[in-house]
Amino acid sequence: MHKLFLYLYSKIQKRKSLVVLLGLLYLITGVIVFTRINFNEDITRLIPKSEKGDQTTEILENLQFSDKITILISGGEDKQGAADAIIDSLVQYPSYVKNIQGRFTEENFEETYAKIQSQLPFFLDQEDYEDLAQKLQPDSIKNLARQNFEALTTSFLPAHLLMSDPLGMTYKGLNKLRKLAAGEEFTLTDGYLSTQNGEMLILFVDPVFSGSETKENTKFVESLDRIQEEVAASFSVKVDMYGAAIIAVANAKQIKRDILTTVLISFTALMLILILYYRKVQLPLILFIPSLFGVITAILLLWIIKDSISAISLSIGAILLGVTVDYALHILTHYKESESIEELYRDITRPLIMSSSTTALAFLCLLFVNSEALKDLGIFAAIAVIASALFSLIIIPHLYHPIKQEKPTLLDQLARFPFEKSKALISICVIFIVISFFTFHKVGFNQDISQLNYIPEDIKKTEQLLDSTTNLNSKSLYLVSYAENLDSALFAANQLKELWKELPIIEASNPTDVVLSESQKKIRLQRWKEFWTAERKNNLRTHLNSAGQEVGLSPTAYDQFYELLDTEFDLNQAHDWGIDVVGKGGKYYHITTQIKIDESHREEIIKKINGINNTLLIDRQELNESFLGHLKDDFNRLINLSFLAVILILWIFFKRLELVLIASIPIGLTAWVTGGLMGAFGIELNIFSSIVCTLIFGHGVDFSIFMTAALQKEYSYGKPVMPQYRISVLLAVLTTILAIGALIFAKHPALISISAVSLVGVFAAVLITFVFYPILFKLFITLRPSKGFPPFKLVHLLFSSISFLYFGIGSFLLSLLTFVFPDKWRGVISKFLGSVIQSYPLMKHTNIIGKPMTPSIWIANHSSFLDILSLNAVDPKTIFLVSDWVYESPLFGRGVQKLGFYPVSKGLDKGLESLQQKVAEGYSLVIFPEGTRSTDNSIKRFHKGAFYLSEKFNLPIQPVLIHGASEALPKGEFQIRGYGLTLKFLSPILPNDLSYGTEVKDRTKNISIYFKKQNHELRKELEGPEYFKEMILECFLYKEPEIIKEVKKNLSQKMKAIHSLEIQDKTRILHIGNDFGETDLLLKLHFPTTKVDSYIQAESRRDVAKNLYLKRNITYLEEMSANHDLLIISDGVKVPESFKAQFPTCYEVF
């Protein structure tokens, strides 16, 4: 992989000017495209969508009442004058102000009054007619006439309006309009809308732009602030303003202030630190060039595949893409420590590509979230991350040339600290993990997005004042009835009235009292005609004229009223009142009903209302729970998908499930501890911090990947490189803390939440990765090779554990049985021991050649624990002479004692009598003449014991060759390999066969020679060219992929050639090559008695060979030496002919 970037580096070096020109053209193209992109600034695109959610969003987008700005005027003597001044000032901003409500002049009052009278039948309901019927009683009419006369001098209504409707029918309509527009808690005081106590005047401003259009509203809010100050000073009143636009602008300003005061300061500090560390003034420019190219690439691709792009997603992406700067830092750090550009690319390419791929794939998982903005973010961030990593690899090495520093910096010293060996840090990690068991579940998801708004103190006080005085804020619920035609929407809204009787509602304002469907219009018009019959009108005229004259009114005072009653109303006179709670947006008509409730009944009311068709409940908390509840579900799914994506990428690059699992454990622990610490400190997730979790997750993955690269490199070459990788990780942590963590000092709640999650997550990631990951890697990978064993393989470990568990439980149970009935269970034990070998599924079938003579003394080569199991499985009537650990084993010791096994540590003389008895009973004795297990394929010197007993008991010697056991389960090993066992019973050597000598000493020596020769022949027969391939590849298991790839290639070319060599025992071999030590292992495994010295040309390859766990007495030379019997040359290494001539024999392996 690194060779491609090395090739590009060399090509660019030769054509720098052309590449710079192409880069500038690319950037210019990106800028031009950026200016032509259609950006969507709709914040609702961030909210997860569903079928119902899309419908809800469409309705919400077209509601206007929620964007109103409320102005409260209190204190002072001239509140009306202040209200007039505010209104006069606001009308000068027609581009921002659509309508102003709250002042009723005589002119607009008369206009409204007349308009209501012109369609009076449509304002009156059944309850109104019942009230009218009471007023038409003779006594009531007399009182009415007297009240009308008195009102002529006291009411603010003009006389002609008062006399045009003495029954107050028009006022009923006016009151319904007022109630619909402002609610019951307001009243009219001298033509101004005010609270019931008259202490506060209220103005409502309908802005042109919605509350989410912050850019357009900023200037408007600045004008409102200026008007507020001027009016308050001029009229000595208190003016308070509240509304969505005001809060949105306050949020935007606070975010800008926070970024200026925190991020810019921290960014400057970070740049200074990096400039001092890398000794490069141009460093800030160098760092951000790859990220700039990455962002341009993402924008270009988004422009190609999408019609419009969410501006919100790009804004969030700009924050999250701080991770891309880390890629440049990784390259800078490694270049600083690398000896050459080739070493740089070899060390950094793979982990950087892995890191960017996992992060990009995690971002792409946002495509599964039902949010258009988050999908845009996923695509944008994924492309930008990958592109930034690639551009970093291509660009950075050309722009930065490291300066060697003799004196280590503070950061260097910190990176050299052995975190994994610190008992204090390990204890802290353990404590955090344990605490997380009790606190992880406490992490909540804050679904109230309003709590993430920054609300200045003055606006908070206004909100509290508005709530306490008018009850407009938290206790109001809005019910939106919607349908694809107006009549259906009105019908749905009208049905809600039946609910008011069942639910504990304080107050309800329903537009259907004023806005009628066609059928309702017909009903009300018919009711008017039925009520005002000719007889009723005549009776009213007679009684009203008489009563009026009695109080001093002229006979013609009520003529205008009589004309109103005689008016022929029709359906065309009922027209739209322009009420903002009735409207149409998209394909839906919507009717909004406002209800006031007691907070204690909120859940009960919401539960009842949510079951009504074609009705949307608009309540801040309920909407947040509905919309953001989906986000919470999507976030949980996102985490799972991201983790699976990371596992997939790790698998693709590592190609070993063991490395994937080991790397995943710190990632999982980081998430666990992060959640635990958040729960412990009461930090909640929200819509913004959830997105930032992708960054934290990416950081944890990046740290694990780079730590894996460091640990693999150390394991491969045996040289400490961890500090170099720790520095790059620490710099990544530093950038996150200073760039995002510094927002903890911000005032905006959203920024604080982002910062808090970032700080906790990064702290957990670096602590777990630095402390636990090296421990895990050592435990599963490097610890065993340091003791001469291969590292764990997951499949081998799993199956070996099962087999040993089966053996342990079975041995313990059978030991108990043999303790009671020793002889009756021998056959069962024999079959059980055979089944233990068969229980390992990867092991090939045991092959038995020949048949033993019984009774006899079996002698066998001994290299594995499997030897005893396989031999006893052949014949249960065998007595083993065993070492103390077998005889005294707590698991099966008592069993073997009862079976007659004899401990050789007691000496043969003391056991002659018991052994003689067993022989007499037909038992064979099994002895391993080497006295201990061999650690390789060679057979050690034989001891005399077996041959002494053969002479004493006059028993034949039964030689048994055991092949494959030393490869399947070597001495001290737990992990079983998949090699098959072969047991070959040679011809028995009778006591009277004197060809091997007459004395015990001679027979021991000669039978040993014969045994070894037969073993050599068996090995030649069974061990083909690829027999040791698995063992050799295990030596390179988990080393760097490039090493493994080349070793496999070399083995395929060399195995047959090495196997075909004829090399005598104890030959001193000099191997000269340029591989990673695989040729030396082939020689030593095929010819175990030889002495191999090796000279590998490349020092780095020699380091790998020296660091292999399978030493087998191989010596690696720093220079060539001619003091050997045989010279073997491989890998095309050129050796002078004069040097070759110094060896009796020379082979060249190709």
pLDDT by residue (tens digit) across 520-553?
888 888 999 899 998 888 888 888 888 888 888 8
pLDDT tens across 145-195, in order?
A: 888 777 776 665 677 777 888 888 888 887 777 676 655 566 777 777 787
More confidently predicted of 816 and 1033: 1033
Q: Can you read off the two tokens belonging to residue 504? A: 């504990």
C-alpha distances in angstroms, 717 versus 743, 776, 1036? 42, 19, 11
Model confidence pLDDT, tens digit, residues 198-254: 788 888 888 888 776 777 888 888 999 999 999 999 999 999 888 888 888 887 777
Residue 781 DSSP class: I
Instruction: Specify the higher pLDDT residue, 948 or 43.
Output: 948
Quote the CA–CA distance of 185 and 509 in Å, as a whole number.
Answer: 12
Mean pLDDT, residues 822-834: 75
Delimiting residues of CATH 3.40.50.150 domain(s) in the chain: 1029-1149
Evaluate whether 201 touches 83 at the Cβ level (below 8 Å).
yes
CB-based contacts of 6-11 (< 8 A; 24+ apart in sequence): 6/341, 6/342, 6/345, 8/394, 9/341, 9/345, 9/394, 9/397, 9/398
Are 1 and 346 in contact by the 8 Å Cβ rule? The answer is: no
pLDDT, one tens digit per residue, over 598-628 is 767 777 777 777 777 777 776 655 444 444 4
pLDDT in the model for residue 745: 77
Q: What is the mean pLDDT of the chain?
A: 82
Examine the pLDDT at 699 and tell me if it is beyond 90.
Answer: no
Distance CA 880, CA 70 (A): 99
Cβ neighbours of residue 732 under 8 Å, at least 6 residues apart? 323, 326, 329, 330, 699, 702, 703
pLDDT, position 996: 92
555: closest CA among 92, 145, 902, 887? 145
Query: Which amino acid is it at 823?
Result: D
What is the rounded radius of gyration, in angstroms, for the C-alpha atoms of the chain? Answer: 46
Q: Residue 710 pLDDT > 80, yes or no?
A: yes
The tens digit of pLDDT for each residue in 1041-1076 reads 889 999 999 999 899 999 999 898 889 999 999 999
Could you tell me the two tokens for 613?
């068709």
> Which residue matches tokens 């280590």?
408
Q: What is the pLDDT of residue 827?
A: 78
Residue range 679-699: average pLDDT?
78
Domain 1029-1149 listed as CATH 3.20.20.70: no
Report helix angle 323-337 to 341-364, nearest 10.
Answer: 160
**Model confidence pLDDT, tens digit, residues 473-494:** 446 677 777 888 878 887 887 7
Hey, which residues does 97 pair with through a beta bridge? 207
Q: Where in the chain is the domain with CATH 3.40.1130?
A: 794-1022
Residue 1133 predicted with pLDDT over 80 = yes
pLDDT band at 773 (very low <50, low <70, confident <90, very high): very high
pLDDT digits (tens, 9 = 90+) for 653-682: 888 889 999 988 998 899 899 989 999 988
Q: Choose the weakest-confidence range: 51-60, 262-271, 491-500, 586-595.
A: 51-60
For residue 965, how far is the Cα from the chain centroid? 46
pLDDT at 581: 62
User: In the prediction, which pLDDT does 1014 show?
Assistant: 94
Q: How far apart (Å, rounded) are the C-alpha atoms in residues 465 and 471?
A: 9
- Using CA atoms, how far apart are residues 736 and 625, in angstroms rounded to an integer? 31
The DSSP bridge pattern shows strands 582-585 and 902-903 to be unpaired
| Of 728 and 312, the one with more pLDDT | 728
Is pLDDT above 90 for 1089?
no
pTM: 0.74
Q: Are 949 and 927 in contact (CB under 8 A)?
A: yes
| Percent composition of the chain: helix, strand, coil (DSSP 3-state, to 5) | 65, 10, 25
| Confidence category of residue 1108, pLDDT binned at 50, 70, 90 | very high
**Predicted pLDDT at 406:** 64
Give the containing element (helix H, strand E) for 1147. strand 1145-1149
For residues 967 and 1086, is the Cβ–Cβ distance under 8 A? no
φ and ψ of 656, to 5 deg: -135, 125
pLDDT score of 625: 47
Is the pLDDT assigned to residue 931 strictly greater than 60?
Answer: yes
Length of the chain: 1150
Please give the structure tokens belonging to residue 398. 């050309």
Both structure tokens of 1072: 């000269």
Q: Which of 641-650, 718-727, 1102-1111 has the lowest mean pLDDT?
A: 641-650
Neighbours of 518 (CB within 10 A): 12
Q: What is the pLDDT of residue 393?
A: 93
Tokens of 688: 């913004």
CATH of domain 794-1022: 3.40.1130
Mean pLDDT throughout 393-405? 82
Q: Please, which residues bridge with residue 309 across strands?
A: 39
Under a CB-based contact definition with an 8 Å cutoff, are residues 80 and 189 in contact?
Answer: no
Q: Check residue 30 and give left, alpha or beta (phi > 0: left; psi -120 to 50: alpha).
A: alpha
Over range 320-334, report the average pLDDT: 79
